[in-house]
Structure 1
Amino acid sequence: MRESDFNRSLSSTTWFHIVNAGNDMEEFQISLRHSFVKSIGSGDKTAFWLEHWIGQDKLCNLFPRIFRLETVREVSIKDRIKATDSGLMFEWSWSREPNGRTNSELQAMIDLLSGFSFANCPSDTWSWGLASNGTFTVKKLTNLLESNMLDRYSSQTGTLRNSLVPKKVEIFIWRVKKKRIPVRVELDKRDVDLHSLRCPLCDDGLESVEHSLVLCDRVRDLWTRIFKWWGIRISNPYNLCDLVEGINTSSMSEKGKRLWQAIVWIGLYHIWCLRNKTVFENKSWNIPMALSEIQSKTFEWIATRDKKHTYEWLNWITNPGDLLSSL
């Protein structure tokens, strides 16, 4: 097999694409490329010289002089190493016999290879070092990535974690802070061709992150009802940062602040979900129904996660504000 054929074959595999998809994850201390380990079973699917399977690098890089003498550079491990009862046996194909420096390099390579042993499997297989069972799953990778993203951003802001909301809401708030939700203004910056940049709810402004979650007239009407529901006085204008970081929370207990933060975060998340239903499912925007859904969803998520307190549904919808100072 020619080297070009070997590289083309490797590049068509699922594993190759998975390994090469992880460049952006380095930012969050997940080295996807280096987390996969190849177990050498028969050695038939691994290039002896051209793949990193032993030592700190590919053998062609570790031992360049001896590699220049190789006549079949795409050769597999199976064709260079045989396991016998007495140990490993090497089969070489040199353009000329090694001598001097190349012979010393050959001996160094043999010393490295002497610690190698074939795995107890019929063929070469990959395992994933970030999972205890060695099996790669998208769910496990997603959980790792989300956890590392939140840990990193929380260490910078101190406000991103809240155990009263699902992780998907924490991730959404992280994306909001980083302006990484696909509103029309952000999509336009990334050269996505759109028929309009105007807000799909009010058609009265460009759809930025701030507009879609706070400034749109319909959304602001919903926030006014949420504040009234919790008995919180709010002065206009307020912005997205005010909501995310905590608005009018100075009189609340620490637990009350955390509860109110959870209400706001779930509200932001639900507003975004309603926006998507409007855009993609042509659902009409109904503010009273939206408030009812937020009341139901916040009660469900928070009551389930807060094991130290018991929340009553009737009190939750009629007079929840007392919780902010009494918790």
Structure 2
Amino acid sequence: MGAFNISLLGKWCWRLLTEKGGLWYRVLKSRYGEVGGRIREGGSDSSAWWRMMCRLREGIGEGVGNWFEDNIRRVVRDGRNTLFWYDRWIGDVPLRLKFPRLFNLAVEKECSVGEMVGRGLGSDGGAWVWRRRLFAWEEESVRECSLLFHNIVLQDSVCDTWQWLLDPVHGYTVRGVYRFLTTTSNMVDRSLVDDVWKKHVPLKVSLLVWRLLRNRIPTKDNLALRGVLSSTDMACALGCVCNETVNHLFLQCTLSTDLWAVICNWLGISFVLDGELRHHFQQFTKMAGMPIYSHLFFTIIWFVTIWVIWKEMNNRIFNGTVSNNFTLKEKVKLHSFLWLKSKQPNFVYS
């Protein structure tokens, strides 16, 4: 979908967000229902148009992440129409993502900021109603959360508003969003889209890399961001004590760095690899000084290594098996040979 069409869809999303008393919002709300101040997606029974609108929340548009969600913010005045847990009104993310444990334990999840302030947001205030008695570390989270609200002062009779961060003065415009979606930095990401689809690479491996380059795989930092895991349970699944992110898991973890070193030694190359996944992909697959015909070979090696690391992580988590670097290197060599020989897109080796 082109950037212009995406920006037009964003205009509809902005109107639904800011005009909740309008006819379209009331029609969609009656059709799909509402949760957390947003209209539900509605599943497979919803219209294709509405599902496309909902996908804006997941970052539709190449290389710009969750561009719509990241550029909206609730400006609190009287606090009556701002949802305390769901809306992004204080800090960079909604409180349900910043404090997922507290959100899960809260009895009332759709209270407004005005209601919570009125009950008292101190660490022992009446706003905090929990499903059970809190543990000591959970009480510490409440105290940390309460510190955010010391300077909050509500303005009676002044309604809350939404702010479009890309243009706080004029608000959402199709022209402004189109310019944002088509900047030079995003064009680099479009070239990456073409690079991941190779006839020699199994389809599900290409899909894994496609998601990986957009940080859309279930690493622990992403799961914590969505409230699936606690923010205290972020240790890398490969056995080190660092937080598990895509860059760490595939490039910076001890297993990953050792494997990449073994692969480089096998290939007879020596250089400093970038610690950011997109740059690493471009640097490795388009090796400087190497003839163009060798780029496919290096691309296959990169895909296979990523796939082997991913499989090793899942084997450790679900099967309890551990492979050493020699075994992993042999898997990379074997799969690279088999993939280069095969031109069947769905031909996948485990």
Structure whose alpha-carbon radius of gyration is higher: 1
Interval of TM-score (by shorter of Structure 1 and Structure 2) = 0.3 to 0.5
TM-score, scaled relative to structure 2? 0.44
